[in-house]
Amino acid sequence: MKMNKKKLIYIIVALVLVISALIGTAFVLKGFQKNNSIPVTTINTKEQADMLKAQALQAAKANETAKAKQLLQEARQIYIKTNDLNGLAGTDAQLYLIDHPRYPAK
């Protein structure tokens, strides 16, 4: 009887240790997951400027010229900071077209 109690105590202690280790591991992994899931955003990238330019073109097509102009100006500043002359030229062209429409309003 004494031997059975001793084995039972060893088994319970071993289970508690295993469960503790599993819980600890789960918390550690969850902590790493949170740190890795933080989005890393780089400000003023060409991709960001391209997205702004695409949004501006959609706004221009929807006759939201003020919004389009604002988005194009933001994209233009990013193109200047990233020294992207092609993007800058395209953005300047779009800004010109917004300010000087081809067909006068009737």
Strand, coil or helix: 15:
helix
| pLDDT digit string, tens, across residues 32-88 | 766 555 555 555 688 999 999 999 999 988 989 999 999 999 999 999 999 999 999
- Rounded CA gap, 55 and 97, in Å? 16
Write down the pTM of the prediction: 0.55
How many angstroms separate the Cα of 37 from the Cα of each of 23, 40, 44, 45, 85?
21, 9, 21, 21, 34
- For the chain, the residue count is 106
- Model confidence at 93: pLDDT above 70: yes
